[in-house]
Structure 1
Amino acid sequence: MPSPPLPPRLLLPAAPALIAAPHGASVLLTPDGELSTLSARKTLEALEELGPPILVHAPATAKRLGVGAIPGAYDLLELYAFALPAQPAAPTPRGLAIALDLPPPDDAEAAAALLPEIATEILRRLARARNALPNRDVAMLAARLRDAMHWPWADSILAALGQPQARGSNDGLKVWRTMPEWEEAAPAQPPGNLPVSPAEARTRLAEILGEGAEERPSQGDFASAASMAFAPRDVPGEPRLVLAEAGTGTGKTLGYVAPASLWAERNGAPVWIATYTRNLQRQLDQELARLYPDPEERRRKVVIRKGRENYLCLLNFDEAVSGAMPGRILALALVARWAGASRDGDLMGGDFPGWIAELFPSGAVSLLSDRRGECIHSACPHWKRCFVEHSIRRAATANLVVANHALVMVQAALGPKGGGGSSEDGPALRYVFDEGHHLFDAADGAFSAALSGAEMAELRRWLLGNEGGRSRARGLRRRLEELLPAHPSLIPPLEHTEQMARALPASGWWDRWEDLPDPDNPRPGEAFLRATRIQVLARTAEADTLYDAETDLHPLHEDLPAAATALESALERLRDPLKHLSKLLTDILEDPDQELETGDRIRLETASRSIERRALIPVVAWLSMLRQLREEPPEPGTRPLYVDWLALTRREGRDIDAGLHRHWLDPTVPFAMQVAAPAHGVLIASATLRDNSAKRDPEAAWREAEARTGVQHLPNPAIRAAVPSPFDYASQTLAIVVDDMNRDSPGQVAAAMQQLFIAAGGGALGLFTAIRRLRDVHARIAPALAEAGLPLYAQHVDAMDSATLIDIFRAEEESCLLGTDALRDGVDVPGRALRLLVFDRVPWPRPSILHRERRIHLSGGRPTSYDDGIARHRLRQAFGRLIRRADDRGVFVLLDPRTPSRLLAGLPEGVVPRRLGLAEAVRQTAAFLASPALPPG
């Protein structure tokens, strides 16, 4: 019998505390209390004598010290994730202090002194919660880590739990054992059609905000306008449409949540709220705490929905635990602790700290999700506990479902996934599309097709499974194996499918570009890719091989027609047995003489649906694209329905993929027809729906907004609403175009950013239109910023995802951040944490064949204006990051002397950009940010 627990005891390691600055000196606090500032070399020498240190983020610290790793380090992030799972915190000393309600440190010396206090507070909180349900197996798990890998924190945790002699077991990793199972519910009742009036929307908004809330009349106006999307529709196919622009600071989110939540409560059906970015999805979820303060009520009434690839797959986790090597067990233990406490099992942007994955080798965490469509649904032993299945069923009875544009559109493209195999999401009656200015881009991705090596190889892997590699891919036979003994008629078409699937590219095809065709094994898939590559190389100019290349489909290279015809025949031979197999599965399900057990019925239905969606739909699309190659090319200048082109994908100077791509010329057409038209009400909202440059012609601005969102393709006109921002941009911001530098000189761009960042004292976001330039500037300015005491972080440089970087940037007011498009939209960093935004150059749309065709056919005969509109929208979106509250102040700088004045018309009203030399821009930036803010209003 296990010994009874002892009183908890706080046991801290006698270890130094270390803060390592990038490219600069480190601060070391010895166990005796001696504080020293040392060079990286001296720090390493001191650690050899003192032993492993207490620190935050061991891999980042090792990188700053110029070493591969710091063996035995006491990483506070590991302790925090283990002891306080599913609790957010920025992965820095200041971020942990804020999360633990400790006084945040002001400098590196204070941070070093705080590290032991952070460890103490974490252990104290664990001791207080040691009897809580998620901690039932925590001592067993800590002891397992102690025995398997001598985890440095194990003894401290066991002492805090009062179980220093606990015995380790892998049972602590088997978190699925304690997870609840979902149960089938009765069918949902028909939803009502009761409207929400503007007055009722305002009343609900006031209830959400509570007494004493800041009065924002514009927010009430927006809620009133949004309520129009929740009126009953009169004609099928003609939803109630509202197109609403709400300036930054309006309170747009709660403005539409008010009528949406009221409609859902009255009518017994969920409202789907879709965003474009994960950042806004997470922010929206946090905002909804004001509507549903109780966490349990919020979990019932608000569901976050994403694609399966975002969630922890319990089967993948089970298999990882079964074969866990000592080197991987800590990563699995932290995931197990999180999974037991997680609200919904979302590994990507939910309550899973993104920095956990950064502490371990690549794939240690990411491979635990179903990133390759290998879900076996009801055949999975964990199906009843599956996070995805739980969220799907909760969404059916929730009031608000927070999803992303992509998921909503993919569901519409595939149709509802009903049936016993999986109660998948069906179409919604009411949609709110936030970040509506991105609908065009989201639809472009959702309603496109690619006949590429990666896509064909993925289908081969799905059909044939693991062909000798390390993947756990099961293949179609493994998915059907429990059905085959009872239904032998499935075997011939299955064998035929497997035989025909070998025409698709096999593993390693990207290394066989130069191989001559083998007459005994023609591999039509690979031959088509080879011919595609030849045409791309022949028709494009010699350029940097680090970048992708593309060319028009017509005129066809002489090698391509024969290769396309051979692949078309091969795909037809694959399609036919797949269709036969799918029909047999359906026939068995519909045969009245078949006495099917529930499990078999579910497997049959799941298999039939999977074959349709994972195999037949792409094969049919590819055949359509290949047949197009046999037809006469379109007359030059005619408006196409689709845009087809050939492309070559490169990575680090190597050609890794080729393919034929097809996009809708106007992707809002399928969005309007397949998503919006079947709904009863649609609200499309954004801070930047219209192009501000069209102030003199408001009607033209609205028409352009309707074209970019697909509203023009629907029979009913949209109700238009525009609510201005309450901010005084003229006094709260300064906009500068630096006009005496060469934007194409990496050295000059780096020098400008460095001087501006230092003038602002940090709180600076640098945005780039190319990853290569970002990396170059980072390498040039990181040492100088570190010497100035300004930490620098960067996308595509630091081993952190964008959400983690934003969390750090928000917590560390003196930090600086470099990023690309992902940080331009949907990022909320209020206060001094973001006070300077610098663009390296005008964010023009990237030249491409697809953009060329849209520029010709969608610009209304004004292609230059089309480009201008895109660039203006991007600048306006970026500018919107600066001012998030009434007391914010910020400086916006463009390091591009070529910036046309017409683009700057897209900035908020009252902002008058100044063209200055760099020296004067630096002086004015420092002076503006140092001056006292004017009182609001």
Structure 2
Amino acid sequence: MPRIYVALDIEATGMDPERDEIIEVAAVKFRDEQVLERFETLVQPRRPLPLAVSSLTGLTMRDLRRAPTFAQVAPRLRQFVRNHPIVGQSPDYDLQMLAAQGLELRNPVYDTFRLATILLPDLPAYSLASIAARLGISVAQQHRAMADVETTMAVFLGLCDLLREYDLETLRRLADYTAQAGLPESDVFEAIYRELAEQGIGALGGALAERLRSTVPGVSHAAELVFLLPRERPPRLEPTGEAPVIDPQWVAGLYSPDGPFAVTLSNYEFRAGQVAMAEAVTRAFNEGGQLLVEAGTGTGKSLAYLLPAILHAVERGETVVVSTETLALQDQLYAKDLPLLRRALEAAAERDSRLARAARFRATVLKGRANYLCLRRWFLRQREPFQSRAEALLAAKITAWLPQTETGDRAELHLSNEEQLAWAQVAESEGACVPNRCLFHRRNQCFLYRARATAEGAHIVIVNHALLLSDLLAESRVLPPYRYLVVDEAHHLVEEATQQFGFQVTHDDVRELIRRTLGVDHVGRFVGALGELWTGLAAVPEARARALAQELGEKLTEWWPRVEALQQQAETLFLSLGDIAQRHPVENGGYDRQIRITEALRHETAWMTVEEIGQSLTTHLRTVVTALHWASLRLEELPESVRDELSELMTELDVLERRAREMHERLQEVLFQPRAERVYWLSWRPQPPAVSLNMAPLEVASLLNELLFSRLETCVLTSATLTVDRSFGYIRQQLGLADADELVVDSPFDYATSTLLCLAEDVAEPGEPGYQRQVSEALINLLRVTRGRALVLFTSHSALQAAYRAIKRPLEQEGILVLGQRLDGSPRQLVERLKARPETVVLGTNAVWEGVDVPGEALSVLVIVKLPFAVPSDPVFAARCEAYADPFHEYAVPQAVLRFKQGFGRLIRSTRDYGVCVVLDRRIVTRRYGQLFVQSLPPCTVRRTSIVQIPRLAQEWLTRHQERLAASTAATEGR
């Protein structure tokens, strides 16, 4: 590429172009790998440097006081950049900052972040350093302008080299799709396409294409060529026909101080609780039935159930399914725990034939069908024009990714929220496939069914709760047959069942159905499946096909006005529902609202209008069902050769008919025929505007028993939080497990010695005058003396924002960084910053109450601002409360206690950890139910005290443990 580029980067006092200032600018002018010129300068700001920026960049006001002002820098920078294309990592921010300070650059701009999301789909993160590492580029320093510019230049050149490995047809499509998306990077794809074409490289370029050239001559697009070739089906797991009883004591011995784990694994610690759990799980696999296990933090519950599961699965040749809630635990099980187990089993294989067999276990991760690309829908979708920038950009990402992927899993792609929505158009979905008609399924190319076939050959199949439950409703179309199940993070099972056994209908759902079924383009031609069918039939020379084409054309003219009316009525219906939602304010609802559809609401005049619109809408929706059914029946009358030619469209018609029937049934139920055992509600969001109709079952215990538990031989359910005051009563009732065995395994951590629990007695109750001020003052006073090292948990984002505004400046003036979830980054990003700089406070909401793991002194203080009760106006919560004689004590309190225990579990993550947990909700002291919260925790050192005394108590506790730890370390080093 002979063109000259300028890599550009700035550092600034913040992210707001209206308020923040530039403090450093750097640029490099380059052609290919040759650096032509450099530009670098600090810039003097008018206001002090924020702590967060200083901690990231290492710059101080002393460095900046003698620097030129931006007004002095701007003319030199403009002269340097001239009209050359600008290369940057997410450069929109840099350009906005420059423009806000008077330098507006209108050059072409190429974003290395955006290019990387297309060309490196497998990266877990897309920071400049992550992209550089993937390309083998060393990064000496980050968050300084010149270092980032040099890295950006190297990354851009590396990404261009990657592009040269694609075949010309793929490059052509990438250039076209990115151009349709309005991306300037299309110029880069176009330039490299022309470069390769001018060099005389053939239609198939790149390593993959070269391997395939001789297989199917004449095919130009490597990504498509891959899927024209049949693939071998993975072997299935064959039952051994044996059912040996595995001795629990023998299993326990494997965890002993001289067992294979201790011999093989570094840092292995013998834990009696882990052994007790492993023995109980082994007995459950031997004898059948259900087992509830609460395993305290640090038990090592994953290894406690995985080893018995593997031994059982291998000896019997049967699959054991392990279900989790979070992606983090799925990754831990598959990428960390199972490889550790295999190493331990292999090391002990010579001594025991059973362990030698177990070491050969096979495992896989299986996800819900919506995670997998549907090749039929993908190639069908390419025939239609893109309706949005997100659809075109998604097409570019899939095009670049297809030659690389083995799984077709969207987790391998970096997708924005808009692209995630567009993914639904090309993803596998329930009822969207007729396998015996699908070309890709017949050739074993279908990603979903290859994943399922791999699972059929695995001893351990790791899934999430969403797939476990949705597959029950789909009659096991994804998961292989199984009789043995382990449910980890089982405290989430009721919540997930509530979602999976319910449904939602949105305006987008109706629009998508209409778009895929029948529409008219800008020149008046019929489009959608029925329109394409008409065009396809007309192109077939067979007489019956042409006759059907003529008949279908007449039908389309008859159906189109009704489909158009359906579209208009859907618009009117969801606007009316939005009006209803806005007229019903909800307690603690903020801008987003959930309005329960009660009998009282159904008698309002506004709802009667909704019903009138709904009657007309569902009538026209029946027309769509009839039209699709008619077309499918008539196609069956055609010769087989014609049906083979139109097989993709026939599958699409079947899918759309099922979708239309399902949508009709759901709308009928919500609007006109509600069922007593279900709850219905409206969800409304103002920006972007969105309304949905929702249903959930009032209780899930009977459904879980009917669909899941009754079909299993053994089910083990475990979590760190299943009991309330050491009783499984609440979770038994929620899950319908009256006869399950139970085991409580206490944490091996010494909470009484390591953890101080401070309960504020004199803070105002939530909602009382002065509450927010007292909370903010308490946080400032506490976190000042502890120098941060803290995680503060809130139950709403509005409360988090209020505290953030109140405490940020006072604490940062003393060198304590304050970071807020969604304000300064994602939970993962904030936790990483806390680990890197302990003098930090992280404020978090729902996503931070569990799953956060910060061992060591970086997290020494945990503050629970408010007891985590559900919002009373939540439709499902409110409806379920009506089933109890005393809903608060029987339902609301136990639910909150389990959530409270999850939050508390963030503090102590290892045997060396110590810390202080502060609860700023006096109800834990003043209300009788407050005792349940405290008694459900491990036995800590508890202090009921005033908020004034909490900082002193915390400081003394932390200082004493720091001195003890320092003395212990010194003694160890002395020996």
TM-score, normalized by length of structure 1?
Answer: 0.72
Residues 562-711 of structure 1 correspond to what in structure 2 (within 5 A)?
A: 564=611, 567=614, 571=618, 574=621, 578=625, 595=640, 603=648, 606-607=651-652, 610-611=655-656, 613-625=658-670, 628=673, 642-647=677-682, 649-651=684-686, 656-657=690-691, 659=693, 661-691=694-724, 693=725, 695=726, 701-711=727-737
Matched, 1:281 2:330: yes
CA distance in 1, matches of 2:863, 2:222: 46
Q: Alpha carbons of 1:303 and 1:730: their partners in 2 closer, same or farther (altered >3 Å)?
A: same
Q: Which residue of 2 aligns with 1:897?
A: 922
Matched, 1:176 2:223: yes
Q: Alpha carbons of 1:916 and 1:582: their partners in 2 closer, same or farther (altered >3 Å)?
A: farther
> Which of residues 495, 501, 512 is equivalent to 1:441?
495
Q: Which residue of 2 aligns with 1:185?
A: 233
Q: Which residue of 2 aligns with 1:28?
A: 24
Bigger relative contact order, structure 1 or 2 (CA pairs below 8 A, ≥6 apart): 1
Residues 763-778 of structure 1 correspond to what in structure 2 (within 5 A)?
A: 763-778=789-804
Q: Which residue of 1 aligns with 2:364?
A: 303
Matched, 1:290 2:322: no
Secondary structure of 1:243's aligned partner: strand
Question: Cα distance, 1:880 vs. partner?
Answer: 1.3
Residues 141-290 of structure 1 correspond to what in structure 2 (within 5 A)?
A: 176-177=223-224, 183=231, 185=233, 188=236, 191-192=239-240, 194=243, 197=246, 198-199=248-249, 201-202=251-252, 210-212=264-266, 213-231=268-286, 240-287=289-336, 288-290=338-340
Q: Which residue of 1 aligns with 2:745?
A: 723
Q: Alpha carbons of 1:97 and 1:809: their partners in 2 closer, same or farther (altered >3 Å)?
A: farther
In structure 2, give the amino acid aligned to 1:344: T
Q: Alpha carbons of 1:608 and 1:223: their partners in 2 closer, same or farther (altered >3 Å)?
A: farther
CA distance in 1, matches of 2:520, 2:384: 20
> Which of residues 467, 477, 484 is equivalent to 1:407?
467
Q: Alpha carbons of 1:92 and 1:292: their partners in 2 closer, same or farther (altered >3 Å)?
A: farther
In structure 2, give the amino acid aligned to 1:448: G
Provide Cα deviations, 1:39-63, integer angstroms capped at 9, x if missing partner. Answer: 3897865476456899865567778
In structure 2, give the amino acid aligned to 1:402: I
Q: Which residue of 2 aligns with 1:844?
A: 869
Question: Cα distance, 1:232 vs. partner?
Answer: 7.2
> Which of residues 544, 547, 550 is equivalent to 2:596?
550
CA distance in 2, matches of 1:293, 1:40: 59
Matched, 1:876 2:901: yes
CA distance in 1, matches of 2:115, 2:958: 38
Residues 35-434 of structure 1 correspond to what in structure 2 (within 5 A)?
A: 36=42, 38-39=44-45, 46=73, 49-50=76-77, 58=91, 86-89=122-125, 91=127, 115=148, 176-177=223-224, 183=231, 185=233, 188=236, 191-192=239-240, 194=243, 197=246, 198-199=248-249, 201-202=251-252, 210-212=264-266, 213-231=268-286, 240-287=289-336, 288-291=338-341, 301-311=362-372, 319=382, 344-347=407-410, 350-352=411-413, 357=415, 363=418, 367-368=422-423, 370=425, 387-417=447-477, 424-425=478-479, 428-434=482-488
CA distance in 1, matches of 2:283, 2:581: 53
Q: CA RMSD in A?
A: 6.0
In structure 2, give the amino acid aligned to 1:867: A
Q: State, as a whole percentage, how many aligned pairs show the same letter.
A: 23
Q: How many residues align?
A: 855
CA distance in 2, matches of 1:772, 1:869: 25
Q: Alpha carbons of 1:597 and 1:141: their partners in 2 closer, same or farther (altered >3 Å)?
A: closer
CA distance in 2, matches of 1:749, 1:649: 31
Provide Cα deviations, 1:194-234, integer angstroms capped at 9, x if missing partner. Answer: 3562356557776577344332332233233223443476x
CA distance in 2, matches of 1:165, 1:298: 52
Provide Cα deviations, 1:385-411, integer angstroms capped at 9, x if missing partner. Answer: 554444333333233333221222122
CA distance in 1, matches of 2:462, 2:291: 19
Contact 2:119–2:397 at 8 Å: present in 1 too? Answer: no
In structure 2, give the amino acid aligned to 1:657: V
Moved more, 33-42 or 892-901: 33-42
Q: Which residue of 2 aligns with 1:856?
A: 882
Secondary structure of 1:837's aligned partner: strand
> Which of residues 920, 932, 935 is equivalent to 2:962?
932
Contact 1:477–1:494 at 8 Å: present in 2 too? Answer: no
Q: Which residue of 2 aligns with 1:522?
A: none
Provide Cα deviations, 1:229-254, integer angstroms capped at 9, x if missing partner. Answer: 43476xxxxxx322221111111223
User: Unaligned stretches of 5+ in structure 1?
Assistant: 4-10, 234-239, 418-423, 513-524, 630-639, 696-700
Secondary structure of 1:707's aligned partner: helix
Question: Cα distance, 1:844 vs. partner?
Answer: 0.8
Contact 2:497–2:700 at 8 Å: present in 1 too? Answer: yes
Contact 2:374–2:426 at 8 Å: present in 1 too? Answer: no
Secondary structure of 1:363's aligned partner: helix
Q: Alpha carbons of 1:749 and 1:399: their partners in 2 closer, same or farther (altered >3 Å)?
A: same
CA distance in 1, matches of 2:950, 2:521: 61
In structure 1, give the amino acid aligned to 2:452: I
CA distance in 1, matches of 2:745, 2:521: 58
CA distance in 2, matches of 1:545, 1:122: 42
Q: Alpha carbons of 1:501 and 1:386: their partners in 2 closer, same or farther (altered >3 Å)?
A: farther
Question: Cα distance, 1:280 vs. partner?
Answer: 2.9
Contact 2:698–2:880 at 8 Å: present in 1 too? Answer: yes
Question: Cα distance, 1:436 vs. partner?
Answer: 0.5
Question: Cα distance, 1:686 vs. partner?
Answer: 0.8
Bigger Cα Rg:
2
Contact 2:254–2:260 at 8 Å: present in 1 too? Answer: yes
Question: Cα distance, 1:685 vs. partner?
Answer: 1.3
Secondary structure of 2:712's aligned partner: coil
CA distance in 1, matches of 2:534, 2:359: 39
Secondary structure of 1:290's aligned partner: helix
CA distance in 1, matches of 2:12, 2:172: 26
Secondary structure of 1:734's aligned partner: strand
CA distance in 1, matches of 2:361, 2:534: 35
Provide Cα deviations, 1:348-388, integer angstroms capped at 9, x if missing partner. Answer: xx455x5xx57xxx635763454887867778898775544
Contact 1:17–1:28 at 8 Å: present in 2 too? Answer: yes
Q: Alpha carbons of 1:344 and 1:187: their partners in 2 closer, same or farther (altered >3 Å)?
A: closer
Question: Cα distance, 1:711 vs. partner?
Answer: 2.2
Contact 1:533–1:658 at 8 Å: present in 2 too? Answer: no
Contact 1:202–1:223 at 8 Å: present in 2 too? Answer: yes
Question: Cα distance, 1:662 vs. partner?
Answer: 3.6
